[in-house]
Chain A
Amino acid sequence: MNVTLGQYFPGHSLTHRTDPRVKLVLEVLFIAELFMVKRYAGFLLMGALLALVVHNSKIPLWALWRGLRRLLLILAFTSLLNLFYTDGRELFTIWRLTATWEGLHAALFTILRISMLIVGTSLLTFTTSPIMLTDALERLLAPLKKLRVPVGELAMMMTIALRFIPVLSEETAKIMSAQKARGADFESGSVFQRARALIPILVPLFVSAFRRADELAVAMECRCYDSAMPRSRLKEMRMKRADYLILTGMLLLIPAILMGTNRLWI
């Protein structure tokens, strides 16, 4: 089964080596910016920035395309809605639907936004191992520990969830084949009937997930895990000079793109 979510491509590029906290902060900034840019020039510059990172990370383009491909339908649907349901100057009319110039721009903006969003977030998970990502999150959220939020436990839960996504999706496929071999039908009938047909998949899946959880808990205890104890890290996070440079550079560049281009014509 192809599971793109949380997939990691090991590597040693600058993108891979950048401190995951920096990557996480910049990712959030990047996404916020995507929704504030209002000019093509802005998207062009953001796209150039993204292309630069893609090139540096050496992530194969097919991997990025695989992430985008699943959203093609949603993209097509939302852009059509945008095209026909935005008020403005008429572009052309089919039957009773009128496409507008404003609608065309809105549709293009949506496509650009969503696809850059997908590529941007994929880049983060492709170049950062799940443990590094959860570690970064744990450290960024560390101040919440003072409010008694169990940040360490939450990060461990995320690590385990990411670890078991491929295991459980493989298991789902196996159970589905087993039920199909016994004559189960998942494809026909009303939505209601199809939802009911999923019960014989979900029950064994949950039973097995609980059994796995139980075994994993014992195995973790055998390896001296205690959530109340301090843990060290194999990969210590220490901000290097390059990290500070990238962080400050981007903190200046990204808002500059926004402010510079939103005043332009195109």
Chain B
Amino acid sequence: MGEMIQTQRLTYTYPGSPAGDPVLNRIDLTVEKGSFVAILGHNGSGKSTLAKQFNAVLLPTDGKVYVDRIDTVDEGRLFDIRQRVGMVFQNPDNQIVATIVEEDVAFAPENLNLPREETAARVEYALRTVDMWEYREHQAHQLSGGQKQRVAIAGIIAMKPRCIVLDEPTAMLDPVGRRETLAAVMRLNREEGITVIMITHYMNEAVEADRVIVMDRGRIAMDGPPRAVFARAGELERLGLEAPQPAALIHRLRRRFPQLPADVLTEAEAVEALSALLAEVGR
């Protein structure tokens, strides 16, 4: 498949803060094309700063970041990088530029100076992908939070990026909006083959990824498939995180019932494990 994003000893210090206190500390990370990576970490672990390195919003103080083999410090290829890696932020209100939905989604293709037919085709494709085509003539500020965030995602999809980085896209949404947004993101990954890197602090969202990275004080603390990462509940707790509820529950019950499986992840698996346990204890 090849690598979408690669960092080599990536170090970043915010301008003005002392050089001995980097936000990102020599990170080596490779994200494969087509994968769905969730990045977790408590506040100040450097996860948002890391995300901003992926499309040259921030540039490394030391080390390298390659996007599709392009060095992000190469100013002449800035638009190539931004077009390949799209970025969605937490607050949908502050990402939507135009009043009308379709005009906002057209913003990026217009910036790329694409011909009108191509722009129109991309707007339709993007809005259909996030299931917002019927709302194309609506005013953005009258939509619900989940709908606005899907419009913001469509605005990025219209660039036809190969990778999309989402920085806590569901943090400001209600449960319905959260579900809609996550479903749209998963569809992008599974049906459109777009690489997804999602920063989140909702564990149940991270469960849907095929790789989970846990950040701590500017370094990668844990990295692996969700099942393996969430089985290490004690370690997660020390990093200020909690395993998804089903995993946390089984993890606690295992102190009394060590025969329970260690790698339970979803509700269905927890129900299955518990009914097996009940049948066994009842006997």
> Of A10, A159, A166, A167, which contacts B137 at CB under 8 A?
A10
A114 to B152 alpha-carbon distance, docked (Å): 40
**Stretch among B17-25, B30-38, B67-75, B94-102 lining the A interface:** B94-102
Q: What are the residues of chain B within 8 A of A229 when measuring CB–CB?
A: 111, 113
Closest B residue, CB atoms, query A218: B57
Taking CB atoms, residues of chain B closer than 8 Å to A225 are 107, 111
A212 to B96, CA, bound (A): 11
Quick check: which of B78-86, B199-207, B219-227 contacts chain A, the rest being far away? B78-86
| B116 with A233: CB separation less than 8 A | yes
B156→A163 contact, CB < 8 A: no
Query: What residue of chain B has the Cβ atom nearest to residue A10's Cβ?
Result: B137
Separation of A260 and B79 alpha carbons in the complex (Å): 59
Write the B140-163 contact mask toward A (1 if CB under 8 angstroms, else 0): 110000000000000110010000
Chain B positions within 8 Å of A160 at CB level: 97
How many B residues are at the interface, by size bracket? 35 or more
Of chain B, the residue at the smallest CB distance from A130 is B99
Q: Check if A8 is an interface residue, CB within 8 A of chain B.
A: yes
Q: Which residues of B contact A130 (CB under 8 A)?
A: 98-100
Do residues A167 and B93 form an inter-chain contact, with CB atoms below 8 A? Answer: yes
Chain B proximity of A167: nearest CB distance (Å)? 6
Taking the complex as formed, is A220 at the interface, i.e. its CB lies under 8 A from any CB of chain B? yes
Contact of B99 among A8, A224, A236 (CB under 8 A): A8
Q: Check B89–A129 contact: CB distance below 8 A.
A: no
Interface centre among A8, A226, A233 (most CB of B within 10 A): A233
CB pair A234–B55 under 8 Å, yes or no, is no
Q: Assess whether B97 is in contact with A231, with CB atoms less than 8 Å apart.
A: no
**Which residues of the other chain, B, contact A223 by a CB distance below 8 angstroms?**
82, 86, 97, 107-108, 111, 155-156, 159
Which residues of A in the span 197-247 have a Cβ within 8 Å of any Cβ on B? Answer: 212, 215-216, 218-226, 229-236
A234 to B140, CA, bound (A): 17
- Does A162 reach chain B (CB closer than 8 Å)? yes
Q: Which of B99, B103, B112, B156 contacts A234 (CB 8 A)?
A: B103
Q: Is B123 an interface residue (CB 8 A)?
A: yes
Given known A-B contacts A8-B139, A129-B100, A216-B94, A224 and B116 have beta carbons under 8 A apart: no
> Is residue A131 contacting chain B, with contact meaning CB distance below 8 A?
yes
* Closest residue of B by beta carbon distance from A223: B108
**Cβ proximity bits B112-147 to A, threshold 8 Å, 1 near / 0 not:** 111110011001000000000000011111000000
A231 surroundings in chain B (CB, below 8 A): 110-111, 113
The reply to whether the CB of A150 lies closer than 8 angstroms to some CB of chain B is no
Chain B nearest CB from A243 CB (Å) reads: 17
State the CA gap A216–B87 with chains docked (Å).
12
Q: Which residues in A have their C-beta under 8 angstroms from that of B27?
A: none
**A232 touches which of B87, B96, B109, B138 (Cβ 8 Å):** B109
Evaluate whether A8 and B100 lie within 8 angstroms (CB atoms) in the complex, with A230-B113, A231-B113, A232-B115 already known: yes
Other-chain residue from A216, A222, A232 in contact with B82 (beta carbon distance below 8 A): A222
Please tell me if the beta carbons of B159 and A131 are within 8 angstroms of each other in the complex.
no
Partner among A167, A212, A232 whose Cβ is within 8 Å of the Cβ of B110: A232
| Interface presence of A6 (CB below 8 A) | yes
Q: Which residues of A contact B91 (CB under 8 A)?
A: 215
Docked-complex contact A163 and B86, CB < 8 angstroms: no
- Pick the contact of A216 from B79, B97, B109, B139 — CB < 8 Å? B97
Nearest-neighbour CB distance to chain B for A53, whole angstroms, equals: 21
Task: List the B residue with the shortest CB-CB distance to A216.
Answer: B94
Q: Using CB atoms, name the residue of chain A closest to B140.
A: A163
Q: Which residues of the partner chain B approach A212 to less than 8 Å between Cβ atoms?
A: 93-94
A224 close to B111 (CB less than 8 A): yes
Whether, in the assembled complex, B40 has its beta carbon less than 8 Å from a beta carbon of chain A, the answer is no
Q: Which residues of B contact A159 (CB under 8 A)?
A: 97-99
Of the candidates A162, A222, A224, A233, the one whose C-beta lies within 8 Å of that of B112 is A224
A13 to chain B, nearest CB (A): 14
Per-position contact with A for B224-260: 1 when CB-CB < 8 Å, else 0? 0000000000000000000000000000000000000
Q: Which 3 pairs between the two chains have the least Cβ-Cβ distance?
A: A234-B106, A215-B94, A10-B137
14 new A-B contacts, CB < 8 A, other than A163-B96, A232-B119, are: A162-B99, A163-B140, A218-B89, A221-B57, A222-B57, A223-B82, A223-B156, A224-B108, A225-B111, A226-B111, A229-B113, A233-B116, A234-B123, A236-B116
